[in-house]
Structure 1
């Protein structure tokens, strides 16, 4: 089925056009040009700032000139993840989509509904001739997924809007009024290589669900890096293991789904037997949440140089000790993850080690507490640790006028109360709010599942609900 023919057509048609344009994070040149041309072709005031953010302004429809100006905001980039057996180049190819019941999904890659459906909705509003709305400032930011570069580069005074509607959440019955901040924790080290003293063993983990390292961190899903660390730990008691290579995980904001390691072990049969026993226990442990997990441990014929047993031991101990998952639940908001860490990527090649983490928290002091705990573990293992990419959280304001308006509209239109929540994902609202402290901000969106993984899918019926809700909000924006 042609995605463009789905209802509501204004959203799906624009989403299909957007997904034909490559737009991985930090490589947004093509999609910036696409959105700039879109605004200019509509005859609307369009500009691109020094960072690469695109701003398109649309005047109010007749009779709504006295309403508060609304900033509609979404990010242009998407997470680029694919299954290992899929050949795909995110820098040159558009996303291949298909319909499965009520869901739109991609063929073996991330879909880009995060945040492409928000972008498509903004495009639909900008091109519309029959939607009542106040003055619109449509802000399309860049590089949200790997550093929030666009939001950080947004200059004070560029926006005149009094209300910001961020279209970047993933449950259509939620109105989001707060989010977590984050910080990247990176551990690195260079190690001398020597001859491998034992037999070569290969470990492969695959079939995990993965998912969003913020919104899914509390679900007890398997982290391929953590599971790899557990398996490797079985071989260090007698310092009989040497690491050769590790290629595990991927982006910081995605829970790792796959891991591969090659090791040299002096008593390989004993190691494999112990690892296979742990494999059986692991499969049982995760049977309810990871039914497709696959762990393979086998002899290999590779004869490469390896790290020393001592250096290997230190790395394995660090992987075993580093915190992953929920660090603290919020004492103020029920069921909200306050602080967490995702061990996202472990790479060892030619003696060069890199371990990437993303720590999140809605409380700055606790964000640094978990980051400093990680730093302590990795430094004890002899690694160098760097903090980078820190961004603030977004403090909830549940009593704001726009939140009350949206609650009333939702209950009137859908017959039930929405959930007013704060989320554990990173949103640009906290950064934008630092430069525009008086602006009222809310985030909402259609239902998306499996964001940041190749299982990402977007609900067709939810997109219809979201579109109806957005149009009604724009119609009801109050006067200045």
Structure 2
């Protein structure tokens, strides 16, 4: 069977790239001293390379250089996935071939008050007790620790392992187009180890599917009314997080909080919206939102009083999950225009009605979120409304049911709604042979049973399984908290535990039949 590989001579990279980019290798010296050093050094190397979803050219080149430097067969497929093959170590040749898989891209998020250029700068990391964190940005542990683990095993000379096909996919975070584009027949492995989950005592055997929902409309702008004052409303200090793994935690959504404030201001005082800018990526719970509004001068004092009352009410509601929530309204210069009144009324009502958060819990697996939605991005400016959502579900029909409910809400206020990026879930297989291997090794190593779960995040296993239906798949990883937010952090002790577990799993891979 033929495949259209991207010729390696057409993949450009700068020799020694990891050592020269922004001196990040030097800045992350403390990280390189952590145990296991082989893994943390590869993570520091990787984090020196910009690797936003859909902008992976530099990290693809980095991985190609890495594979070629080791003298291993290295392939870049037609969509940009990198495959590096390593033969079995002595005595392991009869074992089944294992595909070790992680994704190269990372979520690029930063706090609004942090100056950082993801396109040119490497991630600046530091040690905080048992945690590795980044300075005001996402850490890239999702899924950089998985990538670094595979790199360390590929580079090792003393770790026993079966034949390995290392699969580094692209664009997992914003569409899973790497997994979708991987052709059947390219891999020979019978077992796939996906290293992309975030609790070290869990073994994942299933995940949710997802679909992107985008609502757009244009509107006429009007001159601002006379005798008004302008405010910049700020919602910030929220934790944010992964819109799948963290959706059940009752975290605040900056877009929903902002809309609640705007709705109340309009209902009570005729507040008019000039612009709104909230949230960011679809797979990140929005942490911040900003709006420019105007209110009649005659209502100035009453508006300020009621706004502060509502702000305190919201903060009280979220005091346990969002202790750092900040809500304020500051006087600013008058904008030139505001939204047309009818459109403003319609969109604020639609955003109020649109579901956000957990929609349904699973009826087949205890404590598993079945269906949810994240209102991820709201941008209202210069005559255009743009709203982005990510709907997830482990049940395909339920996913589409909620997607259609959201479409109906936004269409009622005149938006054009499109669906895109739909991907399937991964159906749990409790009889998986590799599951038995992992559970038995975990019990032997740690003297306790692991939790066998399905997760509400989107893993690539379901997609990869479409072209590799006979491949036995499992997912596990070290403990990572706050993924998709600047609070992302990785547990050092958990990475040590995970590193030991991975090596023992590789030793325990069964022989070919």
The answer to whether TM tops 0.5 is yes
Q: Which residue of 1 aligns with 2:303?
A: 271
Structure 2 unaligned runs (5+)?
A: 1-28
* 2:198 alignment partner in structure 1: 170
**Residue 233 (structure 1) shift:** 1.0
In the alignment, which residue of structure 2 is the partner of 1:35?
Answer: 63
Segment of structure 1 superposing worse, 309-318 or 167-176 = 309-318
After TM superposition, give the deviation of residue 35 of structure 1 in Å.
0.4
Select which of 201, 211, 227 maps to 2:257.
Answer: 227
The yes-or-no answer on 1:286 pairing with 2:286 is no
Q: What is the distance in 2 between the residues matched to 1:303 and 1:224?
A: 23
Structure 1 residue 315 and structure 2 residue 347: aligned?
Answer: yes
1:245 maps onto 2:245 in alignment:
no
Q: Report the equivalent of 2:184.
A: 156
* 1:5 positional shift: 1.2
**Are the equivalent residues in 2 in contact too, given 1:163–1:440 (CA < 8 A)?**
yes
The corresponding residue for 1:254 is 284
Q: Secondary structure at the match of 2:266?
A: coil
Q: Matches of residues 174-193 of structure 1 in structure 2 within 5 Å?
A: 174-193=202-221
Which residue of 131, 134, 146 corresponds with 1:106? 134
SS of 1:290's equivalent in the other structure is coil
How far apart in 2 are the matches of 1:451 and 1:16?
Answer: 18
Counterpart in 1 of 2:501? 469
CA RMSD for the aligned pairs? 1.0
Partner of 1:206: 236
Structure 1 position 274, deviation (Å): 2.3
- Report what 2:469 is aligned to: 437
Deviations 1:235-266 (A, max 9, x none): 23368232111110110000000000011223
- The alpha carbon displacement at 1:298 in A equals 2.9
Contact 2:89 2:162 in 1 (8 A): yes
Q: SS where residue 409 of structure 2 aligns?
A: helix
Query: Residue 26 of structure 1 aligns to a residue in which SS?
Result: coil
Give the equivalent residue in structure 1 for 2:375: 343
Contact 1:252–1:358 at 8 Å: present in 2 too? yes
Aligned partners of 1:162 and 1:438 also within 8 Å: yes
Distance 1:232 1:437 in 2: 49
CA displacement 1:366-416 (0-9 Å, x = unmatched):
001111111010001111101000000000001111001100000000010
What secondary structure is seen at the aligned counterpart in 2 of 1:288? Answer: coil
Report the Cα distance in structure 2 between the residues aligned to 1:148 and 1:265, rounded to whole angstroms: 44
Match of 2:78 among 50, 55, 80: 50
Counterpart for residue 478 of structure 1: 510
Separation in 2 of the partners of 1:140 and 1:362?
25
**Mapped partners of 1:430, 1:349: distance in 2:** 38
| Structure 1 segments unaligned to the other structure (5+ residues) | none
Give how far 1:272 is off: 3.0
Note the C-alpha offset of 1:270: 3.2
**TM-score for both structures, normalised by structure 2:** 0.92
Q: What's 1:409 paired with?
A: 441
- Rounded to whole Å, the distance in 2 between the matches of 1:117 and 1:238 is 50
Distance between the aligned counterparts of 1:409 and 1:86, measured in 2?
43
Question: Residue 24 of structure 2 corresponds to which residue in structure 1?
Answer: none
Q: Work out the CA distance in 2 between the residues paired with 1:269 and 1:146.
A: 44
Correspondence for 1:393 among 425, 430, 443: 425
What secondary structure is seen at the aligned counterpart in 2 of 1:359? strand
State how far apart, in whole Å, the 1-side matches of 2:458 and 2:216 are: 25
Q: Per-residue displacement from partner, 1:287-338 (whole Å, max 9, x unpaired)? A: 1111100000233222321111211111111111100000000000000000
Q: In the alignment, which of 10, 26, 45 is matched to residue 17 of structure 1?
A: 45
What SS does structure 2 have at the residue aligned with 1:98?
strand
SS, match of residue 302 in structure 1: coil
The secondary structure found in structure 2 opposite 1:68 is coil
Q: Tell me, in whole angstroms, the C-alpha distance in 2 between the residues paired with 1:272 and 1:199.
A: 11
Aligned-partner Cα distance in 1 for 2:163–2:342 = 64
**Comparing 260-269 and 122-131, the one that deviates more:** 260-269
1:38 partner SS: helix
Q: Secondary structure at the match of 1:298?
A: strand
| Distance change >3 Å, CA 430–CA 277, structure 1 → 2 | same
Whole-Å separation in 1 of the counterparts to 2:90 and 2:505 = 17
CA contact (8 A) 2:269 2:295 kept: no
CA contact (8 A) 1:183 1:391 kept: yes
Residue 241 of structure 1 contacts residue 312 of structure 1 at CA under 8 Å; is this kept in 2? no
Residue 268 (structure 1) shift: 4.1
What is the 5 A alignment of 1:42-81? 42-81=70-109
1:93 equivalent to 2:118? Answer: no
